Structure 1
């Protein structure tokens, strides 16, 4: 009878530990972020905008789009565009991982199969920046893509961030 009681006590202790562990796990677990498809009609979160304050001036009238990481990538950013005086003013502010030797980030405006490089992002003020001025006809290019490049050949390589102007 002593062994049965000993086993019963340890069984109850084990069940108690499982219950406490389960309660702890349920109350302290981190929910994964919702999957958001690029192009969803989203407001740019104040948290994202706050991260970029001081990196560059953006007109209050400029269109803005949040740049989200492509699957398997990390980082985020904000792209803007505004047409003034027949010119397109486009900028990107991004929080992206550090680069290896001979790597760089490049910005692209995309309209279907047509892609236009808008230049390399530069590391400045704690983030990655790009400013571009071009013909107002480029406003038709709604998709913004940031790529990780190893060759400077004006051909996009690995996509890391995307966002679509509405």
Structure 2
């Protein structure tokens, strides 16, 4: 057990990364070769929806999902492929347009939820932080890209 914990840069009690806090709009689905419980046609409803992350909740489709924990870890392409063990052609960094050799993965822990009607996953409960204003998530094996929604600037009064 100790070797496993030393070998992976994972923590069970991490704070929500500041880079993830805020509102994100799902901009597009990313075609990959991995298998999932959805195909891109079934997942199309995700495009245009928003995800809002705060230290204690994930908000999606009008509902709050209370978080019971946050796990972050640094992953490389081999780690990503290992998550789809048994899939004949799992997604890779090239398909996901990830240029860095290592990215941060954030897994939001929550009670099981039947939000999507095919899985206990909540879209956006596991994301890769790939750029300051770009995250990648997955739901039922379908990957999506979300972009940060700018916070309205409030003018200061003199």
Higher helix fraction (1 or 2):
1
Q: TM-score, normalised by structure 2?
A: 0.29
Q: Which one has a bigger Cα radius of gyration?
A: 1
